[in-house]
Chain A
């Protein structure tokens, strides 16, 4: 009886699981295909006879080719160091601005909030042409500091917006109590409120790091020379030079370059989800 009801329920759910599996396949298969291709020999990549969905003779030759490419380790280091530097700059500035907008009463706080939202909406496309000229005038075009200065332009608006939302939801009483007990406002903020807003700050940091790691347009437009490139423009430049694409090493590069973000995501899935939903739905 119970079993019959169970199987009837399972049967009714079949179309749902079929839909679920199809959606999962559509969303995830490209990653699988890229990864499997990275494990194949050059000639097996183009061979669709037999079981092409598996690597029959899996090997890491493509990864060897990738790491044998000049400058690749430098690009990894550049990407890592630029992402860390811009995250530090953006999160520091955003914590200060987000706190002020959310919790301090002063003339212009509301306007500042609106301005931050407007800058959040400005696409990168809009600024890269003049920024290149300005950076050139400052003697920074082609060098990594040009990215330290320009990446925060799209990180600060998002982080400030996100953090002002977090700060608005942290209760005021503990901070006020500390001040009644004689703490200065700054030390009350640093010791009481900042730790309470830590989940938001971590979310902002993860988002900044990921966005810097993924950036392409500014990297292509503002840095040049083998030693200054980021992974994105470096790898795109080497493997997509001319008409000949080396697909094996290219897929290895895609896998390896995405790995740090995948690991970060694996450990902080909930932070990513709350960041996305807060970023999109917070008023």
Chain B
């Protein structure tokens, strides 16, 4: 036994063992079980019968599913672009020395740190149909609007409101990681480019940005995967409404499985994320490899 623990290779397997077993039982096995369930008519409390591709055919025929796919893509794409731009602005801004910089960095990270469930409750109060502070200020105090904004009650507004909260929460994450990457860029190269006559704008886009690009890509991919699988925001703010305008993959799968009891159908919904997810994971692996090679 002592010999096994002393040898590098056997100790390696012993140390990896618990993690490997855990992830195999709690992640790999459920994954294959989900593939199996998606080919069955499994309902809550009933036995599963193999039905082949029936669940997938059923999904393709429903409005709910096509809306789920479109919503998820719109939500992820808009949120990603906005978080990316906002994160870049935040990173450049916080990178410049100013009075109270440390405090600002700590405070600006709060939307990302604070529990999503509870900060989203505050947003649901801010978006209140009758007592929204935004509407009160815009209509009552500033007289900029005459009609209240239907934040969560009109389809387009509801999607926009959800995206806004996702961006609000995610921008600090993008900002802090981008800032860490910017700080890794050598100041000597930047100064050299200044001497060569480049202005701030040019040296940012020609030197800093290409150098932080690997990190930018990894952060964006990780965030894309998280956003695509988001459950908390649509569940807490809209329950997928109005008219299924804000339901995403996870909420649709949740509703079908736990509210309606169609486990097979719910599993099929999560499986339809798989092709997109695989592409994102492969892209992440490639960019992490590149980052390592640098």
Q: Footprint of B on A, CB under 8 Å?
A: 13, 16-17, 19-20, 23-24, 26-28, 30-31, 33-34, 37, 45-46, 48, 52, 92-94, 96-97, 99-101, 104-107, 109, 112, 114-119, 121-134, 149-150, 152-153, 156-157, 160, 184-186, 210, 213-214, 216-217, 220-221, 232, 235-236, 239-240, 245, 247, 250-251, 253-255, 257-258, 261-262, 265, 269, 272-273, 276-277, 280-281, 283
The reply to whether B121 and A251 form a contact with Cβ atoms under 8 Å apart is yes
Place the interface of chain B in its size category.
Answer: 35 or more
The reply to whether A20 and B98 form a contact with Cβ atoms under 8 Å apart is yes
Q: How far is the CA of A240 from the CA of B232 in the complex (A)?
A: 14
B145 to A: closest C-beta gap in Å: 14
Q: Name the contact of B2 in the complex, choosing from A23, A114, A184 (C-beta under 8 A).
A: A184
The reply to whether A272 and B114 form a contact with Cβ atoms under 8 Å apart is no
Q: Name the contact of A109 in the complex, choosing from B12, B128, B249 (C-beta under 8 A).
A: B12
Q: Name the contact of A100 in the complex, choosing from B11, B172, B181 (C-beta under 8 A).
A: B11
The reply to whether B222 and A280 form a contact with Cβ atoms under 8 Å apart is yes
The reply to whether A30 and B37 form a contact with Cβ atoms under 8 Å apart is no
Interface centre among A48, A157, A221, A247 (most CB of B within 10 A): A48
Q: Footprint of A on B, CB under 8 Å?
A: 2, 5-6, 8-13, 15-16, 18-20, 22-23, 26-27, 29-31, 33-34, 37, 42, 89-90, 93, 96, 98, 104-119, 121-126, 128, 130-131, 133, 136, 140, 168, 171-173, 176-177, 180-181, 215, 218-219, 222, 225-226, 228-229, 231-232, 235-236, 249-250, 253-254, 257-258, 263, 266-267, 270, 273-274, 277, 280-281, 284-285, 288-289, 291-292
The reply to whether B125 and A247 form a contact with Cβ atoms under 8 Å apart is yes
11 pairs across A/B with beta carbons < 8 Å? Answer: A31-B119, A48-B131, A48-B140, A104-B12, A125-B250, A126-B274, A128-B270, A133-B33, A153-B26, A280-B222, A281-B291
Residue numbers in A under 8 Å from B249 (CB-CB): 125
Residue numbers in B under 8 Å from A156 (CB-CB): 19, 22-23
Interface centre among B13, B16, B18, B90 (most CB of A within 10 A): B16
Residue of B nearest to A157 (CB): B23
The reply to whether B30 and A254 form a contact with Cβ atoms under 8 Å apart is no
The reply to whether A251 and B122 form a contact with Cβ atoms under 8 Å apart is yes
Q: Name the contact of B119 in the complex, choosing from A30, A46, A131 (C-beta under 8 A).
A: A30
Main secondary structure of the interface of B (DSSP, over half): helix
Query: Do A273 and B109 contact each other (CB < 8 Å), given the known contacts A27-B172, A280-B222, A281-B180?
Result: yes
A261 to B: closest C-beta gap in Å: 6
Q: How far is the CA of A68 from the CA of B98 in the complex (A)?
A: 46
The reply to whether A134 and B29 form a contact with Cβ atoms under 8 Å apart is yes
Q: How far is the CA of A15 from the CA of B46 in the complex (A)?
A: 64
The reply to whether B215 and A281 form a contact with Cβ atoms under 8 Å apart is yes
Query: Do A262 and B114 contact each other (CB < 8 Å), given the known contacts A94-B19, A247-B125?
Result: yes
A90 to B: closest C-beta gap in Å: 9
